[in-house]
Each structure stands twice: as structure tokens, then as C-alpha cells.
Amino acid sequence: MEPIEGVGWRLCSVQPGEPLEIRAERLLIDHLAADSVLLEVAGCGVCHTDLGFLFGGVKTRKDPPLILGHEISGRVIATGTSAEAERWRGSAVVAPAVIPCGRCRQCERGRRTACLHQAMPGNDFDGGFATHVVVPARWLCRVDESRLGTLGLWQMAVVADAVTTPYQAIVRSGLAEGELAVVVGCGGVGGFAVQIAAAVGAIVVAIDIDPERLSRARASNAAHTIDAAHLRPREVRDAVRACARAASIAGDGWRIFETSGTPAGQQTAFALLTFGGSLSVVGFTPTDVPLRLSNVMAFDAEIYGNWGCDPGLYPAVLDLVLSGRVAVAPHVRGFALDRCADVLHSAQRGEILERPVLIPSGDW
């Protein structure tokens, strides 16, 4: 292939024991494996996971230097020699945030999100905080640009994680029309969880400590919102019960989605378990959280983790977005790629309410 030059923002370890930093470096891509493709990046979302790698002491599986970023949309401008890779040439795509191998025993069981050999951009190999990125051809999701309307391809980046991850959790929970869905934490992932649950036809209760996020949840069809800033978990539970009564919904079988990634949020979500209910743990915190697991036994309830989304579900999620049933435009904010370091620091300080998306071209 003809060499491609670009820029990527690498996570770097300056000196042993010193904090990590991220800095722009030149890219030169002159080789593709047979089953890989080269994307010209349209946009790459900034996730809580990226902030954990940079600021939170969370280790990447590949040691730095490493380009972060796993929420990637773009266009295939070069391919490897395999038939699988070549069929994507010229396509607008979303790349999966977690790429299963398709061959291990978990994949064969249909548990692709528990793949034993999964690969993640910005964790196992260089990610999308760059002008170009090389990714495996398998599991790419094609974007029908004729359906984008006023949306940009860069906005589809959040489909790779922020939208698909809560979709996976909701599908796994079996949430049905008329049931109660409680979303704890209405940030980037939680905000989309509210929309998807409402699209299913559930009665959604959104819980957060930020009034602006709660306002956005109401605009995203949450039937009820609860400001938990000064409430204990038991008081939050009482408030949810009141919401259920107001909607003529029973006090059992609730579907709880923990998307805050905070100890307080996880404690609150656990306290909401009811008879025959379920708790999906979507958010991540490295902090130990004390919980009385006997509640799970007493309520005959279920708790399960949710690591990304099965790429086989991506087309259905993309259809929700392109049909307008899930809105992304009000919930994402584009930034020029050359502001990467500033954006990451601002996101860490909580100064950006929307999901930040880094855009190399400025075409937005």
C-alpha cells in the first residue's frame, strides 16, 4: 500500500513512577495485515474509560505508548488482501469498541461480549484519537450515508460504545413495554440508556445528582427524575416506589441499570433490587463497594455485568439512531482533534456535559 501519514495522540509514560501524559506524534502507516482495514477517522468519542487510562491509574492491556480511543467512526480508505477486508473499501463504518474473536468457547456459546480473545482499540492496539486508525475488518458496521440527513458521520462514533453498551444491557435484561426501568447515572452512557428504555416502551425513572443531566433525561422521555444529591439509598428507593405507584406499576421486577460508574451510584442501584428484579452493572469504578449480597438471594434477583456490546447488535442500534428514535445530536459535542489534551482534561474535571467527540477534519 501507499504510505499514509497522519497524526495520533499517544498516551506516554515519561519516567517510571511519573504521571502519564498524552501528546501528538506523527503517524506513518505503510502496511496492513490481510484481514485489516485503514480508516480515515471521522470522529472518536471520549469515554470514561479513556479518562481512567490517563488519570485513574487503570492499566491498558498494551503498555504505553498507545493511542487511546475506542468510539470510532470513519471511512475505509485502504484494505488488506482478504476478501473480508476488501469488501469494505470506500465504506462509511462504525468500528466495534470491543471486537470478539468469533472462535473461542464464549463466542461459540453466543457470549461474544465475554470473548476470551477480544481486542479493543485504544487498549490492545492503537485507537482513534488520530487522523487514521487500523482495525480488523470483522464486525465493522456499515453506515448508510443516505440516511444521515443533518447528522454527520462523526456523530456516529458514539454508536460504538455510548449507545450500543446500554442497548446490550437493556436487551439482556429483557425489559419490556410497560415495565419500570431505573437508570442510575445519566451521563454519556446513562443518557442513551434513558432514550433506549423509553423507545422500548418502558416507564423510565432517571436518577442523578446533576440537575442539568436530569433536565436532559426528561427531554429524552424519562417519565420521572430523582435528584439523589442529598438522599441516602433508602430514600432513593422510597422515591422510586412513589414513581412506580404513580405509574400503576408493581413494586417488584424492576430493571435497574447502573451507569454512573461511582461507588455511591452502585450502592444506590443495589439498594433498588426488588423481588424478581435485575441489576445491570454498566458503569466502572476501581473503588471497592461494600454490598450485602444476601439481598440477591432473598429477592431471587439477578445481577450481571455488561462489557460493551455484541457487534451483531450494532445494525439494530444504528437503525434506532438513523430513524430518529434515539437522538445523538443534542448529546454529543465536537472538538478539533488538535485540542485532544485540553478536551481530556476538561472532561476529567466534569466541564463538558455532552459526550466529547474528537474530529480530525473540522468537517462539522
Is 168 within 8 Å of 306 (Cβ atoms)?
yes
Number of other CB atoms surrounding residue 159 within 10 Å: 30
**Mean per-residue pLDDT of the chain:** 95
- Phi/psi for 230 (5° steps) reads -125, 25
pLDDT greater than 70 at residue 364:
no
One-letter amino acid of 54: L
User: What is the pLDDT at residue 307?
Assistant: 92
pLDDT tens-digit map of 25-80 = 999 999 999 999 999 999 999 999 999 999 988 899 999 999 999 999 999 999 99
Determine the average pLDDT of the residues in 357-363: 86
Is 168 within 8 Å of 309 (Cβ atoms)?
yes
User: What is the pLDDT at residue 2?
Assistant: 86
With cell 461474544, the residue in question is: 112
What is the C-alpha end-to-end distance of the chain, expressed in Å?
A: 29
User: What is the pLDDT at residue 362?
Assistant: 67
For the chain, domains (ranges, CATH) are 4-161+309-359 (3.90.180.10), 164-305 (3.40.50.720)
Band the pLDDT of 14: cuts 50, 70, 90: low
pLDDT greater than 90 at residue 94:
yes
Closest C-alpha among 237, 34, 223, 43 to residue 133: 43
Number of other CB atoms surrounding residue 287 within 10 Å: 10
Closest C-alpha among 42, 66, 12 to residue 364: 42
Is 239 within 8 Å of 260 (Cβ atoms)?
no
Q: Are strands 92-95 and 71-79 parallel, antiparallel or unpaired?
A: antiparallel
User: What is the pLDDT at residue 139?
Assistant: 95
pLDDT tens-digit map of 238-291 = 999 999 999 999 999 999 999 999 999 999 999 999 999 999 999 988 899 999
Band the pLDDT of 219: cuts 50, 70, 90: very high
- Phi/psi for 79 (5° steps) reads -140, 160
Closest C-alpha among 251, 309, 321 to residue 280: 309
In the 8-state DSSP scheme, what is residue 309?
Answer: -
**Could you give the CA distance from residue 259 to residue 193 in angstroms, rounded to a whole number?**
8
Distance of alpha carbon 135 from the chain centroid: 18
User: What is the pLDDT at residue 19?
Assistant: 77
One-letter amino acid of 335: F
- Phi/psi for 173 (5° steps) reads -70, -20
- Hey, which residues does 70 pair with through a beta bridge? none
Is 311 within 8 Å of 96 (Cβ atoms)?
yes
Q: How far is CA 180 from CA 17, 131, 324, in A?
A: 47, 42, 23
Query: Is the pTM higher than 0.85?
Result: yes
Determine the average pLDDT of the residues in 172-192: 96
